[in-house]
Structure 1
C-alpha cells in the first residue's frame, strides 16, 4: 500500500513538472514577437488613395493609414516595415505570414475574419458610384446602373469587384488592373462609373473637381466597415484596440483623418 501511495506521489509530482514545463514553453504572443523583433510588418497595396499610395520612383508609401501605421509603430517602440501586397493576393500573403497587420483601407469581411482578427472599426461606409458629373443623375440606383450599354469598371480581387459581380448582370463589367489610374478611365469616357467605397469617391471627386462626382456617398448601397486586419493574436488585437481608443479620444486620430479626408 505504501508503495502504491509512493507511486501516486511520484506521478503527481511528475505531472506537475510537466505542466510547469509546458507552461513555460508556451510560445510568446505575436505582440511579444513584434516588440522583440523591433519591427512591425505592415501589409499595404499602395494603390488606394487616400489610405495608401506607393510612389514607385521613390519606393515611399504615403497616406492616412501610412501615418496611422507610423503612429502605431511609435507607441510599440518599433520600426515600421511596409510590405507591398495587392488585393488579389492579400489573402495568400496574409496566410503566408508576410506581415503582422494589413492596413490601407481594408474592409471587414467574413472571409478575412476566418483567417485573422480585425481591430475596432475605424470607419463606417459602403459602396456607392462615382461617375462623370454630367452623367451622375443617371446612376442613382443599382437598377439604373445595371442596364445594357453601361460600362462598370472595377479593380480586380477586392470587395469592389465582388460587389459588382453580385449586383451587375446586364451591364458590362470592365476589369482594370491599375487602381491608381482607374478613375481617369471614367474621366476620359472609357468607362461610365465605378462603385467603390464612399470615402474613395469623395476623395476622387476632390482630385477631379467638376469632372467626377460622388453619387450619394452619404447613402451607400450597402453597409461596410474598415479596420486593421491582424494575425490571430488576442494580445496584439487588445493593444491595437486600446491604441485606437486612446487616439480617438485624445484627438490624434481626427488630426490625421482631417489631413487626408477633409
Structure 2
C-alpha cells in the first residue's frame, strides 16, 4: 500500500472538494437561452440610455422607460426570475451581448449590420430619425423637410455615438459637421447651448424635447422618412428559436393589448414631469 504524505493527502482532499463545488455550481455556459437564465435566477438587461425607451435616474440608478418595463415584466412574470439592469453604452450594446455580459439588449434597431452579429425579437415599436432645432436659429430654414435643406456647410448635428441614428445620418450628411457625443444628456446640452444646430435622435425621443420646450424647440420629420426601422430586443445568436418564440409571444401580447402604447405614454409623461 502506498502511503501518501500529509501534504499530498491534504492536496487531494482539496482538489476533490473543489471539483465537487465546480460540478454543482450553476453556469450560464452549460445552457443557452432561458434555461440558463432560470438556473442563474436572474435576467440581465443590457441598458443604454435613450429616453423614453430606456431611462435612468441619476440619483437612484433606477431604470424606467417602456423598454425597461418590458424587460422587467418579461423576467418577473414570464421567466419568474429577478431582473438586473446592466449599464452600457450604444457603442458597446451589441458587443456586450455577444460576450454574455447580459441576456437581452434593450431598444435595439433591427438593422442588417446588427443581424450579422446577433438575433432579434419581434418589434415592440417603430423608429425613424428626426431632427430638433431652435426655431430662432437662422441656419435652419423654416418649414424644412428634406435632408438637402439642412445638410449645409457650417451646420453642426449632434448625435449619440454608435446609435442607429448615428449610422443613418452618417450615410446622408455630406456637408454638415457631425458631433458624436456619448449620451442623450450631452446631445441635448449641445443643442441647448447652441454648440449644435440640430439634434438627430429617434422620433419618439425628440418628441419629448419639443413637448418639454415648445417655446423654442421644433422638429423636422424628413421626407422620405430617414432610417425607418423596427425597435426590438437583441438576443445572442445561439439563443434557441423556441426561446425567441417565447419572447415574441410575450411582445405580441403586449402590443396587441395596447400595453406598449400605455407604457410609452407613461414614459413620455414621466420624462416631461422630470424636466419641469
Structure 2: which 5+ runs fail to align? 1-29, 270-276
TM-score with structure 2 length normalisation?
0.78
Question: Which residue of 126, 144, 147 maps to 2:152?
Answer: 147
Answer yes or no: is 1:249 the counterpart of 2:256: yes
Aligned to 2:103: 100
Q: Secondary structure at the match of 1:59?
A: coil
Answer yes or no: is 1:80 the counterpart of 2:87: no
Assess, with a 3 A threshold, how the Cα gap between structure 1 residues 138 and 217 changes in structure 2: closer, same or farther: closer
Aligned to 1:165: 170
Aligned to 2:12: none
Q: How does 1:4-43 map to 2 (within 5 A)?
A: 28-43=31-46
Aligned to 2:56: 54
Q: Secondary structure at the match of 1:223?
A: strand
Distance 1:30 1:64 in 2: 23
Structure 1: which 5+ runs fail to align? 1-26
Answer yes or no: is 1:68 the counterpart of 2:96: no
Distance 1:130 1:68 in 2: 27
Q: Deviation at 1:64? A: 1.3
Question: Which residue of 99, 108, 112 maps to 1:110?
Answer: 112
Distance 1:223 1:185 in 2: 25
Q: Deviation at 1:141? A: 1.3
Distance 2:252 2:93 in 1: 27
Assess, with a 3 A threshold, how the Cα gap between structure 1 residues 138 and 147 changes in structure 2: closer, same or farther: farther
Give the number of equivalent residue pairs. 234
Aligned to 2:208: 203
Distance 2:72 2:222 in 1: 29
Q: Deviation at 1:131? A: 1.0
Confirm or deny: 8 A CA contact 1:52 1:65 kept in the other structure: yes
User: Structure 1 runs of 4+ off > 6 angstroms?
Assistant: none
Confirm or deny: 8 A CA contact 1:49 1:200 kept in the other structure: yes
